[in-house]
């Protein structure tokens, strides 16, 4: 079936990119539903088009040397959506997870963050398999947040630390920020440098709230399905021009 999808901007855009690229970019892939609505199509078509953008942007991140790229795929709050939409997203995810050879060939490590226990079994198993198969790669960490919530993640860290305290392995009074960080889903990933949210919404929606404590934020009205490589270039130039002080002078 042929749908009137927009052509993706597959070509590499800027001839040059800034020197100080972020170590970790996080993307909130928002605006799929509105993209479809504008075309009088059901929301699931927006998700399909968004998945294409996702694929293209991951490839671009890998090619320009971004070391960590995180994508918000499905939040702990997204279960509030109609079942039909949830099913469409899960089906797309299943399709996508079975088409990851290119990442492995490109030596990309895949890491899934979020609570896997509530996901359909086949999806959960495939996620674990991909994590295992790509563990040895270090060209880029591709972090996919699925059934992820920042507060849920911090509660998960708190439970682990509390259990260790009860077992006598740690002293509760000596819990540090670093220890909390080591018990998050992102324990092997550096903090977010650049958080990008398209679609005109100006909020984090519970994404990487701990890890974004000192992130730079970049917002654009472009809807995620239309987020081309040139949009990422703009964000990278904007980021490069900012002065990060981390509380210093």
Q: Residues interacting with ligand IPE, by CB under 6 A?
A: 28-34, 72-75, 78, 89, 199, 201, 203, 205
Q: Which stretch binds Mg ion (CB under 5 A): 28-36, 154-162, 168-176, 213-221?
A: 28-36
Between CA 151 and CA 223 the distance in angstroms is 26
Smallest distance from Mg ion to CB 205, Å: 8
Closer CB to Mg ion, 27 or 103, in the complex: 27
| Distance from C-alpha of 124 to C-alpha of 27, rounded to nearest angstrom | 22
Quick check: is 30 catalytic? Answer: yes
Q: Does 30 bind Mg ion (CB under 5 A)?
A: yes
Q: How far is the CB of 201 from Mg ion (least distance, A)?
A: 7
Q: Find which of Mg ion, ligand IPE, none residue 205 binds, CB within 5 to 8 Å per kind.
A: ligand IPE
Q: Which two tokens stand for residue 57?
A: 């942007």
CA-to-CA separations, 34 to 41, 80, 122, 223, 225, in angstroms, rounded: 10, 17, 30, 8, 10
* Residue among 43 and 161 whose Cβ is closer to ligand IPE: 43
Asked if 78 is an active-site residue, the reply is yes
Ordered alpha helix ranges (H), the chain = 32-38, 43-64, 83-97, 101-105, 121-134, 150-166, 177-182, 229-240
* For ligand IPE, the closer CB: 44 or 229: 44
Place of tokens 């904007």: 238
Structure tokens at 69: 């790229």
CA pair distance 73, 71, nearest whole angstrom: 6
Residue nearest to ligand IPE (CB): 33
The active-site residue, picked from 78, 91, 152, 191, is: 78
Q: Which is nearer to ligand IPE, 165 or 204 (CB)?
A: 204
């Amino acid at each position: 079936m042929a749908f009137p999808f927009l052509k993706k901007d597959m070509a590499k855009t800027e001839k040059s990119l800034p020197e100080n690229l972020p170590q970790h970019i996080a993307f909130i892939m928002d605006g799929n539903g509105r993209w479809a609505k504008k075309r009088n199509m059901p929301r699931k078509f927006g998700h399909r088009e968004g998945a294409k953008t996702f694929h293209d942007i991951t490839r671009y991140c890998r090619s320009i040397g971004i070391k960590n790229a995180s994508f918000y795929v499905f939040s702990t709050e997204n279960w509030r959506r109609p079942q039909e939409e949830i099913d469409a997203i899960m089906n797309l995810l299943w399709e996508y997870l079975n088409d990851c050879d290119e990442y492995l060939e490109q030596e990309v490590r895949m890491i899934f963050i979020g609570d896997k226990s509530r996901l359909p079994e086949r999806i959960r198993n495939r996620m674990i398999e991909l994590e295992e198969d790509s563990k040895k790669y270090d060209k880029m960490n591709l972090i996919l947040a699925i059934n992820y919530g920042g507060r849920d993640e911090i509660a998960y860290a708190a439970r682990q630390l509390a259990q260790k305290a009860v077992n006598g392995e740690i002293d509760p009074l000596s819990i540090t920020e670093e220890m909390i960080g080591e018990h998050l889903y992102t324990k092997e990933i550096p903090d977010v440098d650049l958080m990008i949210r398209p679609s005109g919404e100006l909020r984090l929606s519970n994404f990487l709230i701990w890890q974004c404590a000192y992130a730079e934020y970049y917002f654009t009205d472009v809807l995620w399905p239309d987020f081309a490589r040139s949009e990422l270039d703009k964000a990278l130039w904007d980021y490069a021009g900012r002065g990060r002080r981390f509380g210093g002078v």
